[in-house]
């Protein structure tokens, strides 16, 4: 989708330098992807301590009890 944006040139240049991305389009797409990713992670963190999975990680990983 083509969109015209009025972005601060110094901000875009700094983002390109920080990420080592060569194009403005790619740096903006990357920024949007990261913003969405962080938002989803924040939503998932709301479930911390509310889900009981009853999983035995030692059994899943094939570990034997050392006790």
Instruction: Give this prediction's pTM.
Output: 0.69
19: which 2 tokens? Answer: 């990420």
Alpha-carbon distance 56 to 54, whole Å?
Answer: 7
* pLDDT, tens only, 36-60: 999 999 999 988 888 777 888 788 8
Of 7-11, 31-35, 36-40, 62-66, minimum mean pLDDT range: 62-66
60: which 2 tokens? Answer: 């899943």
5: which 2 tokens? Answer: 């944006």
Q: Which of 23, 37, 3 is nearest to 12 (CA)?
A: 23
Confidence grade of residue 65 (pLDDT, cut at 50, 70, 90): low
Contact of 27 with 15, CB cutoff 8 Å? yes
């Amino acid at each position: 989708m083509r969109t015209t944006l009025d972005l601060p040139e110094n901000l875009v240049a700094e983002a390109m330098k920080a990420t080592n991305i060569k194009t403005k389009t790619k740096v903006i797409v990357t920024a949007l992807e990261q913003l969405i990713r962080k938002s989803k992670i924040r939503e998932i963190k709301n479930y911390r301590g509310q889900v009981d999975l009853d999983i035995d990680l030692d059994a899943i990983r094939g570990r034997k009890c050392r006790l």
